Amino acid sequence: MNLLEDDPGPLSAGNAPEYTVSELSGAVKRVIEGEFGLVRVRGEVSRVSRPASGHFYFDLKDERAVIAAVCWKGQGLRVTVRPEDGIEVGSTGRLTTYPGQSKYQLVVDNLEPAGAGALMLMLEKRKAALAAEGLFDQARKKPIPYLPAVIGVVTSPSGAVIRDILHRLRDRFPRPVVIWPVAVQGEKCAPEVAAAIRGFNALPPGGAIPRPELIIVARGGGSIEDLWGFNEEEVVRAAAASEIPLISAVGHETDTTLIDFAADLRAPTPTAAAELAVPVRAELIAWAAEQGARLVRAVRQRAEMRRQRLTDLSRALGRPEVLLEGPRQRLDRWGERLGPALVAATTRKRARLAGAALRPGLLVRRIGDERRHLGQWAARLAPAVRDRILKRREGLLALDRIRTSLGYGETLRRGFAVVRAGGAVVTARAEAARHAALEIEFRDGRMKVNAEGAAKARPRGGDGGQGSLF
């Protein structure tokens, strides 16, 4: 069949029609798209590429052939499984050509895992990659608060899960709960759950919306496909990066998702998560009452033991009157001896005083001794006083020489004079002219003059001379 027109029969090389490259490529494109509309292809994903445009480019292959595939950005956000190297998928799309590279390719509308085995293989591969980054390390786990003030729950607001959690919290220990509604399956599940975890962590303490001290991510049971959103990488990374302690309660006890490994604690069911989040209030009250009773019993028992011990020790003590008999006798004995002892002491003191009465001979000897001592001290003191006087005299003379050299008396001896008016020194002609009388001090005395001559004196340089001051 001819790609461009009906078969005209055998043609020779000389009369064969001639086509442009674009015409031939367009004809091939029409034939392939016409023959293959919507197709479903199963194969292994390889050579995945996602440029900045957001489109996915990859290959689908089996043991004998390879088909290029492309998933546009808008469709890539809605596919069930994002393409990853090595996974086997079933892809649905349209077969077309790409004239720019002279090849055909599959434009993918949807991707699904090719069976549970392939899905689990992809899950194990992703788990190993995230574990290698340390996101599941036990050292990253944070302790769960014993009694959180506020609990944040990430789940669907319309399911039975949130009712079970609230009911269990109300039975055990009522706590304020902030619910962040999300889709718990489907294409919106992963981005909404990751955004909820980051949103709770971004709440400021003391804000209008209380910041929770504990986060519970919860969902009921389901198939691996239903729970797949909690295996997505962005959810795992958000859980691992959460600063608020996080409990994962996704699925039933036998269900395991990757968020369970990144969470700080895994609960087998959402109800169990509520039990792990808070203690039982009635048990706490009973425990506190029991501890209080034990404390009262311990204090009473200790007091009784002390009382019995005191009673036992008191039996070893003598009676007060018996204990005081010896001291009382000693007091009486010393009281009897005190009077005669005072009389004897007084007699002795009087005898010593009589023997030490003042006599002139003793005073003369004492005065002589003191005079000799005074003479010895005076002989030692005179040179020291003399030296001190000489040093002070030399210092005084030195100061006088400095005064003389720095005083204005020496200046007067060299021919200078000091002019005063009203007791103050005059240093300017204009100032001297304002006074009627002046006093001039020479080296040998002072004299008073009339200031009229000074006022009429001409300054040096007028006639080559100095006017008279008198």
- Which tens digits make up the pLDDT trace of 395-432? 999 888 887 777 777 777 777 888 888 778 888 888 88
Read off the CATH number of the domain in which 41 is found: 2.40.50.140
Q: How far is CA 145 from CA 8, 138, 212, 214, 288, in A?
A: 85, 17, 11, 7, 19
The H or E element spanning position 189 is: helix 189-202
How far apart are alpha carbons 303 and 301 in whole angstroms?
Answer: 5
Q: What's the confidence (pLDDT) of residue 458?
A: 40
Are 76 and 165 part of one and the same domain?
no
Are 100 and 199 part of one and the same domain?
no
Radius of gyration of the chain (CA): 60
- 264's CB contacts (< 8 A; 6+ apart) are 141, 142, 143, 144, 245, 246, 247
pLDDT higher than 90, residue 81: no
Are 161 and 103 part of one and the same domain?
no
pLDDT higher than 80, residue 154: yes
How far apart are alpha carbons 184 and 187 in whole angstroms?
Answer: 9
Average pLDDT over residues 154-161: 91
pTM of the model: 0.47
- Total domain count, the chain: 5
CA torsion, points 176, 182, 183, 184, in degrees to nearest 10?
-50
Q: What's the confidence (pLDDT) of residue 13?
A: 54
pLDDT digits (tens, 9 = 90+) for 366-378: 788 888 888 888 8
Backbone angles phi, psi at 373, to 5 degrees: -60, -40
Answer for the pair 281, 172: CB distance below 8 angstroms, yes or no: yes
| Residue 322 forms part of a structural domain | no
Q: Where are the alpha helices (DSSP H) in 317-440?
A: 320-355, 360-406, 409-413, 429-433
Highest mean pLDDT among 89-103, 106-120, 275-289: 275-289
Find the angle CA(243)-CA(245)-CA(249) to the nearest 5 degrees: 130
pLDDT higher than 50, residue 170: yes
What share of the chain has pLDDT > 90, as a percent?
35
pLDDT higher than 60, residue 134: yes
Q: What's the confidence (pLDDT) of residue 298?
A: 95
Backbone angles phi, psi at 79, to 5 degrees: -70, 155
3-state secondary structure 202-267: HCCCCCCCCCCCEEEEEECCCCCCCCHHHHCHHHHHHHHHCCCCEEEEECCCCCCCHHHHHCCEEC
Q: What's the confidence (pLDDT) of residue 451?
A: 65
Read off the CATH number of the domain in which 185 is found: 3.40.50.261
Are 157 and 204 part of one and the same domain?
yes
Q: What's the confidence (pLDDT) of residue 117?
A: 59
| Residue 54 forms part of a structural domain | yes
| Single-letter amino acid code for the residue at 9 | G
User: When comparing pLDDT for 25 and 261, which is higher?
Assistant: 261
Average pLDDT over residues 273-289: 92
pLDDT digits (tens, 9 = 90+) for 293-333: 999 999 999 999 999 999 888 877 767 777 788 888 888 88
Q: How far is CA 126 from CA 228, 232, 425, 449, in A?
A: 12, 9, 108, 122
Are 236 and 267 part of one and the same domain?
yes
pLDDT higher than 50, residue 469: no
Q: How far is CA 122 from CA 83, 221, 232, 234, 326, in A?
A: 10, 21, 11, 16, 101
pLDDT digits (tens, 9 = 90+) for 187-219: 889 999 999 999 999 999 988 999 999 999 999
Average pLDDT over residues 90-118: 80
Average pLDDT for the chain: 84
| Residue 227 forms part of a structural domain | yes
Are 188 and 250 part of one and the same domain?
yes
Backbone angles phi, psi at 303, to 5 degrees: -65, -40
Residue 389 structural domain: 374-398
| Residue 387 forms part of a structural domain | yes
- Of 278, 294, 323, the last residue of a domain is 278
| Residue 158 forms part of a structural domain | yes
Are 256 and 177 part of one and the same domain?
yes
